[in-house]
Amino acid sequence: MYSWFRAALAPAAAMAKKAVRALSVFVCVAFPALVEATKCLKLHNKFRTAGLDVGVPELVANPTARNVVMDIVKKRAADKCAKEEHSEEARKAGMGENIFYADDANCAIGVKMWYDEVKILKGNYPGTEWNRMGTIGHFTQVMWETSQGMACARTTSCPKWNQLFCVYKPAGNWIGVAPFSEAVWMSILKRDGMSGALSVAQVSAGSLAAVISAVLFILAE
């Protein structure tokens, strides 16, 4: 269950294992947690809107999420980050959650690593089957279209890994629901310089056009 990232909390399943870890939240606390809410929020909104022909709505600072994430980080700092897992606090509050583990668990690195899971998709639109397409739960939560508010906080003095949390309200990562539209996806591919695979709808439309052309050709004969 531990990885460079851990899949964003919500009704989706947690995923993978690797060497640095992650989760997410957006506001921050005073010592032993470092307040960097503005940076976290700006980075999220940069990925959600900057350079996109069609983006998703910007996130805003949410006071309820702030209270939840501060509570999480205070407790993690108090036990020296002995727990390396999603928080009960975010789950009980019904919020999405991303986590990043590192010596210096800051937003600049953590949010970028969450977003970079987009590369796992190799140009394929995640759609409603996103949870079957690899460890991309951090990316989908960062970009989840209906999430509106967030808050982030991090520990600064844990002996092994420090922990950055970002929490989201409403939660994203609902199984069977697409994180965003195909129009948003095509904009992401264009902005990030990635080539995309055809969607099922595009393939179906293309196949239908080919059949119609073939029929017309035969009739012309």
Q: Compute the distance between CA of residue 42 and CA of residue 38 in angstroms, rounded to an integer.
A: 6
Question: Which is it for strands 162-169 and 149-154: parallel, antiparallel or unpaired?
Answer: antiparallel
The answer to the question of residue 183 being in a domain is: yes
pLDDT tens, position by position, 42-82: 999 999 999 999 999 999 999 999 999 999 999 988 888 88
> Count of domains in the chain?
1
pLDDT tens, position by position, 108-141: 999 999 999 999 999 999 999 999 999 999 999 9
Q: Compute the distance between CA of residue 53 and CA of residue 50 in angstroms, rounded to an integer.
A: 9
The answer to the question of residue 204 being in a domain is: no
Domain span holding position 155: 31-189
The answer to the question of residue 167 being in a domain is: yes
pLDDT tens, position by position, 139-189: 999 999 999 999 999 988 889 899 999 999 999 999 999 999 999 999 999
- Evaluate whether 168 touches 24 at the Cβ level (below 8 Å): yes
pLDDT tens, position by position, 80-111: 888 877 999 999 999 999 999 988 899 999 99
Q: Compute the distance between CA of residue 149 and CA of residue 155 in angstroms, rounded to an integer.
A: 21
Q: Compute the distance between CA of residue 107 and CA of residue 93 in angstroms, rounded to an integer.
A: 23
**Amino acid making up residue 47:** F
The answer to the question of residue 219 being in a domain is: no
The answer to the question of residue 17 being in a domain is: no
CATH number at residue 163: 3.40.33.10
